[in-house]
Amino acid sequence: MEATKQWLSNYFPRYTLNVSGGVVNPTERLPVAQTVFLSLQHVLAMFGSTVVGPLLMGFNPNTALFFSGIGTILFFICTGGRVPSYVGSSFAFIGVVNSATGFKYVPGGHGNPNVPLAAGGILVAGAIYFAVALIVMLAGHRWIDYIMPPVVTGAVVVAIGLNLAGAALAQASASGFDAWMSFTTVIAVALITMYAPGPLRRLPILLGGITGYLVHLILGYCGVGPGIDFTGVKNSKWFGMPPTHAPVFEGSAISLIAPVAVVLIVENTGHVKAVGAMTGHSLDKYMGRAFLGDAIATMVSAACGSTGVTTYAENIGVMSITKIFSTQTFLFAAVVAIILGVIPGFGAIIQTIPSGVFGGLSIILFGLIAVTGARIWVTSNVDFSRPRNLITAGVSVVLGCGMVNGLVVSFGVVKIDGIGCSTLSAIILYQILREDWGDIFRSLVGKSKKGNGANPIMMVADSPKGDLDLPISTSRRDSSDNEEMELARRSSIDIKRTQ
């Protein structure tokens, strides 16, 4: 019993007060008043994406906010308060959920009637993620870098953004007035990103959306365009638990949604590495626990009929500006999100966002997703003169872009949409298009003659750096592979950046 108490006392950080005004490390804290103020800034940073994502899938935004707070607390517990992160709705699920449920977002319209079906698929994706987390905790995380080097992760992220582009344009072009409002919203977001003072630059989606909303509201009152219907706001309660749904498990929906687990792994890996780089202290040893926290948060959220979650780059951006990495701040932010989640009137106001404003926000968000994938290639120095990289990325991106409007590959009840095909094709092609198959074959023949039965593909080659320990051919390692895998460990990956 005493040993358990000692372990628990060491598991969570013993926060030390930092009033120096400099960098605040994850295990330090600010005075309470400053902590509360900073937590509100984190809530504002995550708010835009945490609300937009669920609406595009037909989920209740109050439920998503509530479980983003719950999920952040679970993440804090699993990581022992060592990894500063906020978890919110993942955009990686939008395309697959809409494909599985046939949902199309209409401002002010009804939510997705097939939320339980989607929740079942998200829960399975969380379970796969959970299994990967356990493997990483036991075996380390370097094998992930081997399976998903930058050329693969970049292609998948580009494909996700372009796969969703059609939905954004459909919202933006619902009418001529909506097209102008979409243009206004895009310009507002761009101007805020570039020219807003100080911390306001970190809130472009929230402030741009508010700007577009107010312009639409004013023009509606002036008779220039359609007004905004506030009937739902008047009829809503101002306090109540958010609606929940029990998940329903159906084969085709699961096969469409479950592969998104791969994207969640990519996102979280990049975020852990990014925060570690900013703090100056590697957090790689907490990678498995970060996966575990995100996976459990996703499973709990889905079990109650809400969206899958992921660690948010928006909040990482706030930390990069403030240099305050205290994990205690995210506990306060989680509590605020939970409180907002139990105010139905708040969700009703969100439901009134016009189609044109939503379309403008979606164009920005989905465009940034696609460009972020390209940035992974650039920052990781992916060599596209190599056919292996060129074919892997090209096939993956085209499948992601072209397989839209319900187009799927079916094997009985198993269905794979554009994002799933893009992800699987990138992983498989990169591994089968190896340049050293001749060496592997000769090693196999040599080992079989000696009769020791060793598998040369899974033998660890000697590396001058001595820190990769990756399964590759025994006789030759491609230098470009070395560079890509090493860069994969340092790359910062995010599919939802809003700045």
Query: What are 318-339's pLDDT values in tens digits?
Result: 787 678 889 999 999 999 999 9
How confident is the prediction for the chain on average, in pLDDT? 82
Q: What is the pLDDT of residue 322?
A: 73
pLDDT at 466: 32
Q: Confidence band (pLDDT; 50, 70, 90) for 111?
A: confident
Tell me if 14 is assigned to some domain. Answer: no
> When comparing pLDDT for 352 and 337, which is higher?
337
Whether 464 maps to a domain, the answer reads: no
Question: Which comes out higher in pLDDT, residue 479 or 6?
Answer: 6
Structural domain of 354? 25-434
Q: Which residue has the higher pLDDT, 357 or 485?
A: 357
CB 205 within 8 A of CB 45: no
Domain-embedded: residue 259: yes
pLDDT at 21 exceeding the cut of 80: no
Res 77: pLDDT: 95
User: What's the rounded Cα separation, in Å, for the pair 325 and 160?
Assistant: 30
pLDDT for 482 beyond 70: no
DSSP calls for 469-489: --B--SS---HHHHHHHHHHH
Portion of the chain with pLDDT greater than 70, in percent: 87
Is 92's pLDDT higher than 60?
Answer: yes
459 CB-contact burial (10 Å; exposed 0-12 / middle 13-18 / buried 19+): middle
* Stronger pLDDT, 395 or 142, i.e. the higher one: 395
Burial 117-140 (b: 16+ CB within 10 A, else e): bbbbbbbbbbbbbbebbeebeeee
Q: Which residues contact 15 (CB under 8 A, 6 or more apart)?
A: 27, 28, 29, 326, 328
- Whether 441 is covered by a domain: the verdict is no
Residue 451 lies in a domain: no
413-454 tens-digit pLDDT: 667 778 788 888 999 999 999 888 888 788 878 766 665 544
The answer to which of 92-101, 105-114, 313-322, 346-355 has the lowest mean pLDDT is 313-322
pLDDT digits (tens, 9 = 90+) for 243-278: 999 999 999 899 989 988 988 888 788 788 878 877
Q: What is the pTM of this model?
A: 0.74
Residue 182 has pLDDT above 90, yes or no: yes
Distance of CA 37 to the CA centre of its chain: 25
Has residue 73 been placed in a domain? yes
Q: Write out the two tokens for 255.
A: 């096969």
The CA distance from 272 to 283, in Å, is 6
Which residue, chain included where needed, has tokens 């905790």?
137
Per-residue pLDDT band for 151 (boundaries 50, 70, 90) equals very high
| Residue 87 host element (H or E) | strand 87-89
Please count the other Cβ atoms lying within 10 Å of the Cβ belonging to residue 377: 21
Which single residue is written with the structure tokens 């507002």? 188
Helices (H) and strands (E) in the chain, counts: 22, 6
d(CA 163, CA 112): 20
R_g over Cα of the chain: 23
Report the residue count for the chain: 499
Most confident of 121-130, 259-268, 363-372, 402-411: 121-130
497 has pLDDT over 60: no
Strand pairing report for 87-89 and 309-311 = antiparallel
Name residue 437's amino acid: W
pLDDT at 9: 73
Across 386-421, b (16+ Cβ under 10 Å) vs e yields: bebbeebbebbbbbbbebbeeebeeeeeebbbbbbb
Residues sharing a CB contact under 8 Å with residue 402, sequence separation 6 or more, in sequence order: 418
Instruction: Please tell me the least confidently modeled range out of 135-139, 273-277, 482-486.
Output: 482-486
- Band (217; pLDDT cuts 50, 70, 90): very high
Residue 18 located in a structural domain: no
- Say whether pLDDT at 499 is over 80: no
pLDDT digits (tens, 9 = 90+) for 198-213: 767 767 888 888 999 9
| CA–CA distance, 283 with 194 (Å, rounded to integer) | 31
Query: What is the tally of structural domains in the chain?
Result: 1
Q: Is the pLDDT of residue 367 over 60?
A: yes
Whether 384 is in a domain gets the answer: yes
| Best CA proximity match to 471, nearest among 499, 413, 431 | 431
